[in-house]
Amino acid sequence: MPVADPIANLQTLIRCPSVTPAEGGALAALEAMLLPLGFKVERMVATEPGMPDIENLYARLGTDGPHLMFAGHTDVVPPGDETSWSQPPFAAEIVGGELFGRGAVDMKGGIACFVAAVARNIEQHGAPKGSISFLITGDEEGPAVNGTEKLLKWATEKGETWDACLVGEPTNPDVLGDMIKIGRRGSVSGKVTVFGVQGHAAYPHLADNPVRGLLPLASSLMDPPFDGGTPEFPASNLEVTSIDVGNPATNVIPAKASFAFNIRFNDTWTADTVKAEIVRRLNEAAVKSPLRPDRDPARYEITWAERPSHVFLTRNNALIASLSGAVESVTGKVPKLSTTGGTSDARFIKDYCPVVEFGLVGQTMHMIDERVALADLETLTQIYGTFISRWFDNALLS
């Protein structure tokens, strides 16, 4: 089958300039790959007021269980300065045993390999003893509002259910086979504004400088640590990501000052409990930090980002063992089971079925000259193929 070649699949996908929110022909190309394999393919457009419409794709092969989902995205980040690339970012050129192009690693490469793995399995063993589906969004690199979350809801309302999911994000730090993601930390962002009294810098007794309160409030969120980590997760970590006074005049005490922050938290916390701890720390610091001696505590307000990401950990031993065993069988490496890194669309999928993540080496993702070794594309295809066989064998026995 032509689509059994992951290199050709990836070249086709890269040549579709699907920079979020543009479909760029990528979903159409994927549909053309899946239809000859027997998949029923549906295209769903998600909408939200004030945001661009997003095209998504859902395809299923088979009607019976067990049901394995492969999830991912065809949208990519902008290429940046195209003249800085050694090869055009959407040409999918092969140089020195590597395939160059935006999305090669994140994550059109994973999609290309899974399509090839399914094609080879059908060639060798016939249709799967159950169902395989592709749940592919065009909004992962964007706000993630009109993508996987709405596509899952849409498919569920049509009667779709899944027993397990593999997300093809690039998970390996250095070498293919290094790491499987079995969970993700939660993420909460916010902005704290401290209020003072504007005045002349030469007459501080007539003003209240909010910066005096901002610094101890920000420090209270960064120290002491929120926790020491858990067996599955690293310690929760909060970073102040910006400080803004918005004051162009050096002789004016500002009326307010603000700082933004983000915390990545482990399963010691929920989004609600970590928010409560942040407010507790801020209140305590405000009481201890009046803007000037013998004055009232610092006054502040906090604004939370609208959509926190929730922490999760997958404990499905059959799913993890099927993937880990496939990696070891093909590469000889025992992959580390990890919960590190940022968020992914697995945070939505975990509410519908057990989910793990495994894909290419992520060293060049989002970079100029994003590229993947041809050998890794073949190896990942073999891993995915072995995983498919092992998962269905294990699922049918359970």
User: How is 10-31 classified by DSSP, letter by letter?
Assistant: HHHHHTS--BTT--TTHHHHHH
Q: 191-221: per-residue pLDDT in tens?
A: 999 999 999 999 998 999 999 999 999 999 9
- As a whole number of angstroms, the distance between CA 374 and CA 376 comes to 5
Of residues 16, 51, 48, 46, the one with CA closest to residue 31: 16
**Structure tokens of 121?**
């399995």
- Distances, alpha carbon 233 to alpha carbons 42, 178, 218, 313, in Å: 37, 17, 25, 9
Q: 133-164: per-residue pLDDT in tens?
A: 999 999 999 989 999 999 999 999 999 999 99
Residue 398: per-residue pLDDT: 64
Mean pLDDT along residues 274-283: 98
Q: Which residues are catalytic?
A: 75, 140
Residue 181: per-residue pLDDT: 97
Burial class, 165, CB count within 10 angstroms (exposed 0-12 / middle 13-18 / buried 19+)? buried
Q: 21-36: per-residue pLDDT in tens?
A: 999 999 999 999 999 9
Residue 200: per-residue pLDDT: 95
Mean pLDDT along residues 332-345: 94
Domains observed in the chain: 2-184+311-397 (3.40.630.10), 186-304 (3.30.70.360)
**Structure tokens of 24?**
């760029």
Mean pLDDT along residues 284-297: 85
Record the pTM: 0.90
96 three-state secondary structure:
coil
Of residues 303, 277, 322, 286, the one with CA closest to residue 186: 277
Reported as a pLDDT band with limits 50, 70 and 90, residue 2 is: confident
Whether residue 37 has pLDDT greater than 90: yes
- Percentage above 70 pLDDT, the chain: 99
Reported as a pLDDT band with limits 50, 70 and 90, residue 301 is: very high
Mean pLDDT along residues 101-105: 98
Reported as a pLDDT band with limits 50, 70 and 90, residue 293 is: confident
